[in-house]
Structure 1
Amino acid sequence: MQTALTFLNQLKDNNTREWFQEHKYEYEQSRSVFIQLVKEILAAMAPFEPELSELDAKSCVFRIYRDVRFSKDKSPYKTHYGAWIANANKSLVWPGYYIHIQPGESFLAGGLWMPPAEQLKKIRQEIDYNGHKLHEIVNNTTFQNFFKDFSEEEKLKTAPKGYPSDHPDIEWLKLKSFTVSCRIKDAELSKKTFKDTCIEVFQAIKPLNDFLKTSIE
C-alpha cells in the first residue's frame, strides 16, 4: 500500500484539478493497488461471509472526487481511499465492513452507520429484548482486542421515546449509529500481513453485524 500512501500524501499538498490531471497515471496505479487489496480481502472473507463472494472489488471502492456543492472546502479530491463491503442488494443500509486508507489516519471499521428511522427502531427493540446477546459480543476478548466502544456520533442526550432513562442499556439505546473502528498505523499498511490483519478485524466485527442483521431483517 506504499504506492497509495505516497500518492495520497502528494495529493494532500496539491489538491487541484491541474495537478491531478498531470499525475493521472500515478492515481490510476495507486487506485489499482487499493482495488487489488479489496479483491484479496473479499476472497479471504468468503468462508465466513459467503453472501459477499459475488461482490466486485471496484464496486466497493468509493470515488475519489468530492461533491463540493454544499461544502466550504472546495478541494476537488478526497485525500483517502475508502471501500464499503456489504451485501450488494442492501448497499449502505445494511451492516458491512469499511476500509479507510489515509496517511496517518487509516482505520478499519464495520457495523451500520446512521440507519433509517425504521431500522433504528428495530435495532433498539432488539437491544431492549436481547441486550444480553450484544453484551456477549462486545465483552468477547477478540472483540475487545480491536475495539473500545461504539461510535457516539449524533448520540441522543436523553432516552429515546418509549424507553425509560434507567434502562440497563440506555447508553446503547441513545445511539444513532452502531459502528466500531480501530486505527491502523502507516507501517502496518505496507506489511505483507496487512490483508490478514483486515480479516482478523472483520471476523471480530461479524458477530456485531449478524446481531444487526437479525434486528432489521
Structure 2
Amino acid sequence: MGFTGFPDEAFVFYEGLEADNSKTYFTRHKHLYEDAVRAPMLALTDELADEFGTAQLFRPYRDVRFAKDKSPYKTHQGAFIDLMPGIGLYVEVSAAGLFIAGGIYTQAADQVARYRAAVDEDLSGKPLQSIVAELTAAGYTLEGDRLKTRPRGVPEDHPRIELLRHRSLYAGLRLEPEPWVHTEEVRGRVRESWRAYGPLVAWLCTHVRGSELPRR
C-alpha cells in the first residue's frame, strides 16, 4: 500500500496515550499504533527515500533508566534520515500534528567547537547567516539548544552572536492536524520542507561533520 496520509486514528491514539501513558493503554491500542501510525510513516519515508535517503523509525519506548519521568512510551512517532551522525532530516507525527525538521540535534564537544569556529569565520559564517535568513523568511522556525549568554570569549557585538549561542541548530515547521494530513498532501509538504533544509544540512555536514571523539 502506498502512502495516503495519516488517518484520524493516529491522532486519537496519541491523544489517548498522553492521557494514559501506560502499558495497559498501549497494549490495548497497539493495533492503532501499528496500522495508523507506524505503517503510514514507513510508507511515507519509503516513498521519499529515492531523493533523501533511507529513514530510521524510532522505537515507541522511552529510555527511562536515568529519567525522572518514568512514562514508558513516547507521545510521538519520529523518523530520521541520518546523513552524518546527528545531522539529517526528521519528520514526526503526534497528537499536535506534524513536525518537519532538518539540521543537527545533538552535538559533542568537538562538533560544538567546529560549529562555533565556522560561524565565527566570515567565509563560512556569512553563508550560514544567509541560509538561516532565507529559511525564516520562508516561514520556518530556527530551533535548537542555546546558551542564555554568549559563549566565552565572543564579543557582544559579534554580527552572528545569535547563531554562536546555539549548541544545536535545526529548522522546523509545525503543522496542526487539519484535514489535509489524512491525504497524500503530507508527502508533498515533507518533500518541500526537506528540500528547503538542504542548504542548512549541507553546511552542517561540511563544517561540523560527525563527532571524532571516542565513544564512551
TM-score bracket relative to the smaller structure: 0.7 to 0.9
| Pairing 1:145–2:138 present | yes
CA contact (8 A) 1:68 1:75 kept: yes
Q: For the residues of structure 1 that align with 2:190 and 2:15, how far apart are their CA atoms?
A: 22
Moved over 6 A (4+): none
- Say which of 48, 64, 82 aligns to 1:86: 82
Counterpart check, 1:42 vs 2:49: yes
The alignment of Structure 1 onto Structure 2 pairs a total of residues equal to: 199
- How much does 1:34 deviate? 1.6
User: Which residue of structure 2 lines up, in the alignment, with residue 132 of structure 1?
Assistant: 126
Answering whether residue 186 of structure 2 is matched by residue 194 of structure 1, we say: yes
Instruction: Name stretches of at least 5 consecutive residues in structure 2 with no aligned partner.
Output: 1-5, 210-216
* Alignment deviations for residues 170-192 of structure 1 (CA, whole Å, 9 cap, x no partner): 12112111112111110142232
Classify 1:73/1:96 alpha carbon distance in 2 versus 1 (closer, same or farther; 3 Å): same
How far 1:112 moved relative to its partner? 0.6
Match of 1:32 in 2: 39
TM-score relative to the length of structure 1 = 0.82
Structure 1: how far apart are the matches of 2:130 and 2:146? 25
The answer as to 2:112 corresponding to 1:120 is yes
In the TM superposition, what are the counterparts of 1:1-217 in structure 2 within 5 Å? Answer: 1-2=6-7, 3-30=9-36, 31-43=38-50, 46=51, 49=52, 52=53, 55=54, 57=55, 60-87=56-83, 90-92=84-86, 95-129=87-121, 130-140=124-134, 144-148=137-141, 150-151=142-143, 153-158=145-150, 160-187=151-178, 188-217=180-209
1:114 counterpart SS class = coil
Provide the C-alpha distance between the structure 1 equivalents of 2:106 and 2:181, rounded to a whole number of angstroms. Answer: 28
Give the CA deviation at 1:212: 1.0
Other structure's SS at 2:100 match:
strand
AA aligned to 1:139 is A
State the TM-score, normalizing by the size of structure 2: 0.82
Which structure exhibits the higher relative contact order, with contacts defined as CA atoms closer than 8 Å and separated by 6 or more residues?
A: 2
Report which of the two has the higher share of strand.
2
* CA apart distance, 1:105: 4.8
The one-letter code matched in structure 2 to 1:116 is A
* CA apart distance, 1:6: 2.7
**Maintained 8 Å contact 1:156/1:175:** no
